[in-house]
């Protein structure tokens, strides 16, 4: 008999699993393994730094000891960005200074490491928290996305965040429908497609 999946706080040993999940969902929810020359690339931007610098807001769906989905976030995006500027990006710039674009999506990560994208100030004012969520295909039904979101929003609210935002690819229609269905408000702007929600 297999154990039931459950949500738990992410641990340091989940780092590789978060990186793997990020890669396998980085093409608008689909496997992007063929689109990056280095499998670690997407996780370096959108998953691993949260485990390093915002661990209290990182949760995984554990399936028999293995993380198969995650949600990561931070209650104060501006403070998080400042810390990454000081403690995360400089090391990556040194490590990947000689890297060149070899696969279609390499440039997204290499350019981000060189010049990180920061949250628009008007969004940060009302929705300073943000999150990223990804689930491997076997968990993309059954309510795990909703449960992870609920867990994260509870943690962000307890930390005093007045609102949360997240960015979504314009090509990821499934994600757009999901966020609308769980009560986030769509903001389609020139600087991207955002979903926001007031907390508290």
| pLDDT tens figures, 63-108 | 999 999 999 999 999 999 999 999 999 999 999 999 999 999 999 9
Q: What does the mean pLDDT of the chain come to? A: 94
Annotate 37-94 with DSSP letters as a single string. SSTTHHHHHHTHHHHHH-GGGEEEEEETTEEEEEEEEES-HHHHHHHHHHHTHHHHHH
Looking at residues 18-28, what average pLDDT do you find?
95
Distance CA 56, CA 72 (A): 9
Q: What is the pTM of this model?
A: 0.94
The one-character DSSP state at 136 is -
Give the pLDDT confidence score for residue 116 in this predicted structure.
95
For residues 199 and 156, the answer to whether their CB atoms sit within 8 Å is yes
Give the pLDDT confidence score for residue 154 in this predicted structure.
98
- pLDDT over 80 (residue 191): yes
CA distances from 156 to 15, 40, 107, 135, 144 (A): 21, 27, 32, 20, 18
Distance CA 72, CA 14 (A): 12
Name the least confident of 17-21, 138-142, 181-185.
138-142
For residues 169 and 175, the answer to whether their CB atoms sit within 8 Å is yes
Tokens at 184, concatenated: 């986030």
Looking at residues 133-159, what average pLDDT do you find?
94
Give the model's confidence band at 1: pLDDT under 50 very low, under 70 low, under 90 confident, else very high: very low
CB atoms within 10 A of CB 115: 8
């Amino acid at each position: 008999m297999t154990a039931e999946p459950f949500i738990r706080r992410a641990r340091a040993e989940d780092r590789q699993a978060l990186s793997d999940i990020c890669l396998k969902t980085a093409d608008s929810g689909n496997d992007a393994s063929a689109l990056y020359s280095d499998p670690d690339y997407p996780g370096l931007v959108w998953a691993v730094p949260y485990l390093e610098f915002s661990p209290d807001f990182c949760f995984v769906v554990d399936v028999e000891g293995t993380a198969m989905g995650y949600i990561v976030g931070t209650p104060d995006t501006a403070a998080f960005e400042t810390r990454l500027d000081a403690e995360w990006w400089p090391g990556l710039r040194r490590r990947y200074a000689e890297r060149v674009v070899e696969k279609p999506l390499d440039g997204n990560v290499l350019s981000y490491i060189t010049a990180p994208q920061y949250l628009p100030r008007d969004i940060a004012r009302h929705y300073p928290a943000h999150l990223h969520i990804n689930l491997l295909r076997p968990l993309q039904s059954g309510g795990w996305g909703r449960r992870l979101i609920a867990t994260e929003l509870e943690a962000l609210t307890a930390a005093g965040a007045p609102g949360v935002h997240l960015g979504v690819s314009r090509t990821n229609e499934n994600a757009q429908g999901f966020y609308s269905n769980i009560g986030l408000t769509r903001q389609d702007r020139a600087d991207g497609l955002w979903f926001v929600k007031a907390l508290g």
